Structures are given as structure tokens and as C-alpha cells.
Structure 1
Amino acid sequence: MVATACGTGGVGAPSTGSSPSSITMSTSPSPVPTSARAPDPALEIRDADGRTPLVVATKSRDTDSARRLILAGADVNAKDNLQDSAFLYAGAEGLDDILVLTLDHGADVNSTNRFGGTALIPAAEKGHPTTVQILIDAGVPLDHINDSGWTALLEAVVYGDGSPVYQEIVSRLLAAGADPGIRDAQGRTALQIAQQRGQADVARLLG
């Protein structure tokens, strides 16, 4: 499309006799921003174990590769044959840099692993207090019960040793509102388990 503007003098002034100036406006479409393009299908190719490149990078603890894949659009919720996604595995293993990236790019905080547990439960079990707090802040359900009948709080006591690390995890869960009254399949509360196992400091937190 061509828009033509004619030059004029002031009001009542004679024409200068100059030729009109022309402004040409392009009608070709603007390029599609990279962020709006569909992700590369190669990002979701799976190996014999059902692992995408992102799951492989996460399980290899390769933060740089995981970051590149996530920023390129890799699905942070894609699960392998073991039902591990980048989000779930990073949470379970305390890989906080990758975990935060997955949360920033659409991780499903309600997703569960092959044991029927959320990312918060193995994070508590394996003694990752910072990871536990990240997941609490992200809104992972506090009182979800896995297939073994345990919540994150129960697993922190069942698998923990009562050390300061596990005391911190128990404190963080309680401060966030985790229910200490939930019982396991044997009818025991976290307090009763802590008492049975001689975890006196944890028992004081729960009492």
C-alpha cells in the first residue's frame, strides 16, 4: 500500500511547485516470534526406557542441558516408563535448580510418581529441606497420601533418623499446615512413630 502526502505552504501561500513525496508501507507479515512457534518435536523423542531428552538430562544431573531443553519448550511433565518426569525426579533428588525451572515452565504440582506420591513425599523422605520448602511454596498438596499410606510428614519420620535435617523438614511441614493427626496403614501418627523410633527431638516438634 502506498500513502501519498502532498507538500503545501502555509495557509494562503502559493504552491512551491515541488513534486509530491511518497511513503511506502510494507504489507508483508511480520516474522513469528520464536516463543510463539511450536516446540521442536525432537524435544519429545523417547528412548527405549521412555525417557525424553529432558528426563535423561535431569537423571544425569545435567543442569545446563536441562535448562536449554526447558527453555526450548521441552515438556517438564513428560514421564518415562518409571513414571518419572523432570519435575518429579528433580523434586525427589533435591535438584533444586532444575526443579525451579520446571515449576517456572508449567510443572504439574499434583502429579504423582509410580508410588502414588507427589514430589514432596520423596523430598521429605530423602532429607532435602530446601527442596521441601520450594515444593511447599509451589503449592504441592501437603497431606497427599501415597500408595504406602504415608504423607510427606509420615515419611520424614518413617525414613528419617531424627537428625537436625529431618527436624527441619518436620518443622517446615508443620509450619505450612501439614496434618500431624493423619495415621498410617497401621494406625500410627507421626508422633507415635517418632516415639517408637527414639526420635525425641522430632517427637517434641510433633507433640
Structure 2
Amino acid sequence: MMKDDLPTLLLIAALSLTGCTEPAAPTVNLHRAVEIGDIDQVSRHIYWKSDLDLPDAHGDPPMHVAARAGRVAIARALARNGADLKAPNAAGKTPLEVALEHGRVQVASMLIDQGAQLDAQDTLVALVESGLIDRDTLNFLVNSGAQLDKPDPNGNAPLHLAIRNGHLETVRRLILAGADVNQPADDGRMPLRIARESAPGRDARFIVSTLERNGARADPAP
């Protein structure tokens, strides 16, 4: 039995008991129960028809809390009991977007299985621009069809965006994943040229050195 199966089985067992005896009313706030992974309390909320889409004080519905915390079994139970997979939180993000920006790829995969829609390329671009993409999420998006070197409508590939925004770790992750360090942007500038001409920042020189170490050229090959 896989490690993640145990909480799922416990939740199923807890919910199945409702057919024989009525569970006690929940004593822990639903959002808190999701955050700490209290399956018993979550199952009570489901049985007693708590609002599964009610935002907390930060504007996050329970599904977003589960996505951020990586609570796969709880997120699945919420989805199967009617939680809205498309509902945005206060920041305008869906549960799937929250899961991916926190590297919770198991939750993301489950949400997609339950019907959540993923545009892998758009998500890749958004997370690269924000600097919120980790290795697991990057691999997940590539395996879901995102292309590392595909330009956006402005002619910028993800690597160009990461350089322009000064996201050193994102630059490193894209290069390790296979991004082309010598693909020119729409204006003809190479990634290394963009890095050298970008406004100086804390990580600017490290971005330049990272590109140089990985064979980047400042100008196109003759």
C-alpha cells in the first residue's frame, strides 16, 4: 500500500461509518481541519453539509487550503462532495494554480483527474514570470505538454521572461530542464545579451554567470 493511500482509506472508513451511526458535529473549523490534515473533522463537515466553498479570512476556500498544504486525500474528498474546482480565491487563483505554485503536483494531478482544466503552457509562463515554479512543477508542466522554448505572444520564451524578471533559481531550473540558452527573443537579442543589459539587481550577475557556464552566447553565431 502506498503511503498516500492510508489517509484515503481512513477517510473512506470514517465516511462509511455514517451509514451506521451519525457522527458528532465538527468541533474544528473546516479550514483549520484541512490545514492540519484532520480527516475525522473534515468528514464530519462533509456529513453535516458545511459550505465546502466558503472562503476563510484570507479569501481561500477549503480546496485552496488543501492544495497549498498538499492534502491529497482531503482535496479528493472535497472534490467528490461538490467543492468547486474552478472557484478563484481572493487572489483570483484556482485550486489547481495554487497547487502548482506550491509544488503540490500530486494534488494537481488529482484535481485534473476530477475535471480541473490545465493549460500547461499558460501556467508555465505565469509561474516563470512570478518566479514561483519549482522543479517538480516544472517537470509536471513539461510532461503535460508545456514547451520550454515556445515564445509567448510578445516573442519571449520562458527563459527570456525569467531573465527579464531577475529570477535566478527559475533561470537555473529552466536550463537544467533543457531550455535553449541561445534562442533569440523577438527583438533579436540573445538570453545572455538580455541578462547583461537588464537593470542590475541582486541576482543579475549570477544570472549572467549561469548563462555563460551553460554555453550562452551574447550574439548569434555567424
Which among 130, 133, 158 is matched to residue 160 of structure 1?
A: 133
Bigger Rg over Cα: 1
CA RMSD of aligned residues (A): 3.7
The CA distance in 2 between the partners of 1:182 and 1:83, in whole Å, is 34
Deviation of 1:182 after TM superposition, in Å, equals 7.7
**CA, structure 1 residues 182+142, in 2 after alignment: closer, same or farther (shift >3 Å)?**
farther
The structure-2 alpha-carbon separation of the partners of 1:76 and 1:188, relative to structure 1 and needing over 3 Å to count, comes to farther
Q: 1:201 — aligned with what? A: 176
Match of 1:77 among 33, 39, 53: 53
Hey, what's the Cα distance between the residues in 2 that align with 1:132 and 1:182? 25
| Bigger helix share | 2
Residue-pair matches, total: 150
Q: Could you report, residue by residue, the CA deviation over 1:15-59 in whole angstroms, capped at 9, with x for unpaired residues? A: xxxxxxxxxxxxxxxxxxx89xxxx9x87x9xxxxxx83123123
Q: 1:194 to 1:134 in 2, by over 3 A?
A: farther
Partner in structure 2 of residue 4 of structure 1: none
The answer to whether 1:67 aligns with 2:43 is: yes
* Structure 1 unpaired stretches of 5+: 1-33, 46-51, 145-149
What do residues 140-193 of structure 1 show as CA deviations (whole Å, max 9, x unaligned)? 23239xxxxx953235442235xxxx2x42333344455875859x97443434
**What amino acid is aligned across from residue 127 of structure 1 in structure 2?**
G
Matches within 5 A, 1:148-187: 151-157=122-128, 158-161=131-134, 166=135, 168-177=136-145, 183=152
In the TM superposition, 1:1-207 aligns within 5 A as: 53-143=29-119, 151-157=122-128, 158-161=131-134, 166=135, 168-177=136-145, 183=152, 188-193=156-161, 197-199=171-173, 200-204=175-179
The sequence identity of aligned pairs, in percent, is 26
Residue equivalent to 2:199: none
TM-score normalised by structure 2 residue count: 0.53
Check the 8 A contact 2:72/2:107 in 1, yes or no.
yes
With over 3 angstroms needed to count, the CA separation of the structure-2 counterparts of 1:194 and 1:119, relative to structure 1, is same
Q: Is the 8 A contact 1:124 1:155 kept in 2?
A: no
Distance 1:179 1:202, change over 3 A: closer
SS in 2 for 1:90: helix
Retained in 1: the 8 A contact 2:60–2:90? yes
Structure 2 segments unaligned to the other structure (5+ residues): 1-17, 165-170, 184-222
1:82·1:114 contact (CA, 8 Å) conserved in 2? Answer: yes
